[in-house]
Amino acid sequence: MIHYKTTEEIEIMRHSCLLVGKAHAELAKVLKPGMTTMQVNDMIETFIRDNGAVPSFKNYGGTYPFATCISVNDVVVHGFPNNNTIKDGDIISLDIGVYKNGFHGDSAYTYAVGEVSNDVKQLLKITKESLYKGIEKARNGNRVGDIAFAIQEHTEKKHGYGVVRDLVGHGLGRNLHEEPQVPNYGKRGSGAKLKPGMVLAIEPMINMGVKEVYQDEDGWTIRTRDGKASAHFEHDVHITKAAPDILSSFEEIEVAEKANPNLTWCHD
């Protein structure tokens, strides 16, 4: 069942979604080689709780052990924070969810630490672009497949990347995962019809090489089959009668990212 949100509920959700962006920006200010992913996780968890919210992912399904997912290089999503040190040349996909005032916000961003190869820069740039191409289709009367098709066109068709099939975006609201599912691949004109009041977490997970992935023994960590890099960008989008309303924000993240000499800006 799809849960449509009232105008009042949307404003509560906007607050949760913006808080996720602020949590990301806190990290983007200080991220550098030498930090461990656990330090990153703990910083974000503290920020979330200091802002009167709860990390959505912690104990998700009774099993996810951490506040955030931190996925390095060939890890696609759902990476566990650990005591490994972040190195120059790594890409870090950070996924953050917060629960506040009864509603979730959920947003992911991939950071390039230090000097990364041109291939990796391009992967991050195209993946973020594909997110906005998908969002452009998130309009009243369109279908979920229109979003999916736009993302797949830009990444797989145009740039030869692998679009992950096993994981998808989702509806968002009082629950972290609501209907409908929002795949990053599919046919134009297929799937659920988009209507005002829907909120979708759109989240392309794009591999530099093959689309196939596998799960680590920890039961969560998803890696690319060929060991090549993977990128992940996620926004929460409210369907309106008019233009798509992006509830989350990358603005503060991007300002911090550009100002941080230890990060490479990949999006020009």
Q: Which range, of 57-65, 82-90, 110-118, 242-250, touches ligand MF3 by CB under 6 A?
A: 57-65
Please count the other Cβ atoms lying within 10 Å of the Cβ belonging to residue 261. Answer: 8
Among 47, 57, 99, 103, binds ligand MF3 (CB under 6 A): 57
Partner in contact with 57, chosen from Co ion, ligand MF3, none, beta carbon below 5 to 8 Å by kind: ligand MF3
Name the residue with tokens 């509806």.
171
Half-sphere exposure of 158 (CA within 13 A, CB side): 15
Nearer to ligand MF3, 55 or 162 (CB): 55
Which residues touch 225 (CB under 8 Å, ≥6 apart)? 210, 212, 213, 214
Contact map string, positions 68 to 97, toward ligand MF3, x by CB under 6 A: -x--------x----------------x--
Q: How many residues bind ligand MF3 (CB under 6 A)?
A: 12
Give the nearest distance from C-beta 69 to ligand MF3 in angstroms.
5
Token pair, residue 26, equals 């806190």
For the chain, where are the alpha helices, taking DSSP H only?
7-30, 37-50, 118-136, 144-152, 158-159, 251-259
Q: Which range, of 6-14, 56-64, 122-130, 192-200, touches ligand MF3 by CB under 6 A?
A: 56-64
Name the residue with tokens 């990053």.
184
Partner in contact with 64, chosen from ligand MF3, Co ion, none, beta carbon below 5 to 8 Å by kind: ligand MF3
Burial category of 159 from C-beta neighbours within 10 Å (exposed 0-12, middle 13-18, buried 19 and up): middle
Is 60 a binding residue for ligand MF3 by CB under 6 A? The answer is: yes
Nearer to ligand MF3, 116 or 199 (CB): 199
Token pair, residue 232, equals 């992940």
Give the nearest distance from C-beta 201 to Co ion in angstroms.
4
**CA geometry: angle at 20 spanning 162 and 8, to 5°?**
110
List residues binding Co ion (CB under 5 A).
106, 201
Partner in contact with 265, chosen from Co ion, ligand MF3, none, beta carbon below 5 to 8 Å by kind: none
Q: Per CB under 6 A, which of residues 185..244 are in contact with ligand MF3?
A: 201, 234
DSSP assignment letter at 129 = H
Among 9, 10, 37, 64, binds ligand MF3 (CB under 6 A): 64
Answer for the pair 111, 257: CB distance below 8 angstroms, yes or no: yes
Give the nearest distance from C-beta 133 to Co ion in angstroms.
18
User: What whole-number distance in Å separates Cα of residue 91 and Cα of residue 263?
Assistant: 10
**Side chain identity at 159, as an amino acid letter?**
H
User: What whole-number distance in Å separates Cα of residue 264 and Cα of residue 243?
Assistant: 31
Among 106, 236, 254, 257, binds ligand MF3 (CB under 6 A): 106
- What residue ranges bind ligand MF3 (CB under 6 A)? 57, 60, 64, 69, 78, 95, 106, 108, 170, 176, 201, 234
